Amino acid sequence: MSEETLEQKVIAAINQIRPSLQNDGGDIEFIKMENNTVYVKLVGACAGCPMSQMTLKNGVQRYLQHVIGPEIIVENATQMAM
């Protein structure tokens, strides 16, 4: 059995927290990963929520750092130039 890549671990962890966001009428989409920075997009109710940046940093990033490693950084892909 091959070892999971870092990106696969990140996607699996994001999928674990998606139900919590979906319960609040929102969702999260994995966009891409560059080095240790994970780019995600909040959608639904989360997209326009004034607390979305706090959700990303205090919720999503903290969870990914806990289950994968402290080097993981989460950024909102809608705030970057594609």
Q: For residues 38 and 58, give the distance between their C-alpha atoms in angstroms, rounded to a whole number.
A: 15
Domains along the chain with CATH numbers: 6-79 (3.30.300.130)
* Tens of pLDDT, residues 4-28: 899 999 999 999 999 999 998 999 9
Helix/strand/coil (H, E, C) string of 37-67?
EEEEEEEECCCCCCCHHHHHHHHHHHHHHHH
* Tens of pLDDT, residues 45-78: 888 888 888 989 999 999 999 999 999 999 999 7
